[in-house]
């Protein structure tokens, strides 16, 4: 089983969430500069952590972020190249999303991009307390790789003894991914890494 983070790995959502953040912060009386990079150093990378960093109630801020995102008319684009990765992996080994986003947000994205069939489960932050807990619960089902773009993804994988693969096109830079067993620059590199790590065959399309 391969576990994927969602935002920044599959969903090219940083721009969307940046807008959601500014609107939500304004509702809490916080005026954020346009050039702020609030997600870059968060550990763990959750909206609760962000709310705490901004000095507001973490749970209320996370709920407000989710509500603001749900009000958006469209969904973010798919990270370029990830459809090929997912198409290659689909059916070869179970794929699961483990994300700090809410399940409904993720499922809406997957539906819009015709990817719902690819994943055997979608586990959002509304149904788990921490990624460590989720990954540990998935171990009996064969979880052995976590693909993410944040320090907390790498730390969670290490904590339960599975392979941590960090992607460099996501929300956090390489210096935040020091716990990764492997870093990949592009989705094509990711597919090659997963095929090698899990003994899968990479097919050309």
Which residues are known to be catalytic? 5
d(CA 88, CA 103): 24
What secondary structure letter does DSSP report for 181?
S
Q: Which parts of 62-201 are beta strand (E)?
A: 95-98, 121-123, 145-148, 163-167, 182-184
d(CA 156, CA 146): 8
* DSSP secondary structure string for all residues of 23-69: HHHHHTT----TT--TTTT-SS-SHHHHHHHTTS-HHHHHHHHHHHH
d(CA 167, CA 177): 9
d(CA 181, CA 179): 6
């Amino acid at each position: 089983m391969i576990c994927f983070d969602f935002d920044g790995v599959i969903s090219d959502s940083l721009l969307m969430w940046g807008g959601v953040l500014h609107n939500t912060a304004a509702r809490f009386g916080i005026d954020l500069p346009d050039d702020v990079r609030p997600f870059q150093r968060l550990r763990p990378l959750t909206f609760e952590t962000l709310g705490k960093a901004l000095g507001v109630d973490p749970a209320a801020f996370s709920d407000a972020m989710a509500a603001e995102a749900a009000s958006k008319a469209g969904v973010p684009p798919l990270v370029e190249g990830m459809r090929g990765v997912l198409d290659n992996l689909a059916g070869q080994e179970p794929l699961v999303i483990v994300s700090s986003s809410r399940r409904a947000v993720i499922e809406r994205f997957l539906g819009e991009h015709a990817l719902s069939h690819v994943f055997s489960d979608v586990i959002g932050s509304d149904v788990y307390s921490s990624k460590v807990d989720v990954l540990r619960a998935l171990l009996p089902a064969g979880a052995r790789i976590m693909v993410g773009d944040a320090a907390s993804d790498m730390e969670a994988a290490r904590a339960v003894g599975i392979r941590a693969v960090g992607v460099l096109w996501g929300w956090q830079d390489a210096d935040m991914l020091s716990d990764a067993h492997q870093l990949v620059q592009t989705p094509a590199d990711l597919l090659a890494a997963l095929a090698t790590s899990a003994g899968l065959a990479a097919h050309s399309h």
